[in-house]
Chains A and B, each alone.
Chain A
Amino acid sequence: MHVLEFEGVGFSFRDVPILREVSFAVSPGEFVALIGPNGAGKSTLVRLAAGFLRPQRGRIRLFGRPPQAWRQRELARLMALVPQGAFLPPTYTVWESVLLGRTPYLGFLGWASAQDNRIAREALQQVGGAHLAERLVGELSGGERQRVLLARALAQQPRLLLLDEPTTHLDIHHQVSVLALLSEVCAGGVAVLAVLHDLNLASTFADRVVLLCDGRLLADGPPAEVLRHELLAPAYGNSLKIFPRPDDGGRPAVLPNPERA
Chain B
Amino acid sequence: MASAISSPRAGRRPRERLAALSCGLLALPAVAALAAAWGPAEIPPLAVAKLCWSQLAGGTTSASWPSSWPLILFQIRLPRVVLGGLVGMTLAIAGATYQALFRNPLADPYLIGVSSGASLGATLATYFTWRFSWGGLNAISLAAFAGALLATAAIYFLARVGGRTPVTVLILAGVALGAICNAGTTFLIFAAKDAFQSMHAITWIMGSLALADWDRARAILPYLLVGLGVIGWHAHTLNVLQLDEEQAQALGVAVERSKRLLIIAASLATAAVVSVSGVIGFVGLIVPHVVRMLWGPDHRFLLPMSALVGAVALILADGVARNVFAPRELPLGVVTALVGAPFFLHLLRRQKREVF
* A binding-site residues for B, Cβ under 8 Å: 47, 50-52, 71-77, 79-81, 83, 86-93, 96, 100-101, 103-104, 106, 109-111, 130-136, 138, 156
Bound Cα distance from A52 to B250, whole angstroms: 9
| Contact for A80 among B250, B254, B354, CB less than 8 A | B250
**Which residue of chain A is the closest to B1 with respect to CB atoms?**
A131
**Which residue of chain A is the closest to B234 with respect to CB atoms?**
A110
Q: Once the chains bind, are B300 and A83 in contact (CB under 8 Å)? A: no
**Which residue of chain B is the closest to A81 with respect to CB atoms?**
B250
Q: Once the chains bind, are B300 and A131 in contact (CB under 8 Å)? A: no
**Which residue of chain A is the closest to B353 with respect to CB atoms?**
A138
User: Total A-B residue pairs with C-beta atoms closer than 8 Å?
Assistant: 97
Stretch at the interface among B44-52, B241-249, B305-313, B315-323: B241-249
* B binding-site residues for A, Cβ under 8 Å: 2, 5-9, 12, 232-233, 235-237, 239-240, 242-244, 246-247, 249-255, 292, 296-298, 300, 353-356
| Contact for B242 among A92, A130, A156, CB less than 8 A | A92
Q: Once the chains bind, are A76 and B250 in contact (CB under 8 Å)? A: yes
Closest CB in chain A relative to B106 CB, distance in Å: 15
Binding site secondary structure of chain B? loop
Q: Once the chains bind, are A104 and B296 in contact (CB under 8 Å)? A: no
Q: Once the chains bind, are B246 and A47 in contact (CB under 8 Å)? A: yes
Q: Once the chains bind, are A96 and B298 in contact (CB under 8 Å)? A: yes
Q: Once the chains bind, are A91 and B356 in contact (CB under 8 Å)? A: yes
B243 / chain A contacts, CB cutoff of 8 Å:
86-89, 100
Once A72-B252, A72-B253, A76-B252 are accepted as A-B contacts, the answer to whether A132 and B5 lie under 8 Å apart by CB is yes
Closest CB in chain B relative to A48 CB, distance in Å: 12
Q: Once the chains bind, are B236 and A109 in contact (CB under 8 Å)? A: yes
Bound Cα distance from A51 to B250, whole angstroms: 9
Q: Once the chains bind, are A87 and B244 in contact (CB under 8 Å)? A: yes
B235 / chain A contacts, CB cutoff of 8 Å:
109-110
Q: Once the chains bind, are A104 and B233 in contact (CB under 8 Å)? A: no
B255 / chain A contacts, CB cutoff of 8 Å:
72
A131 / chain B contacts, CB cutoff of 8 Å:
2, 5-6
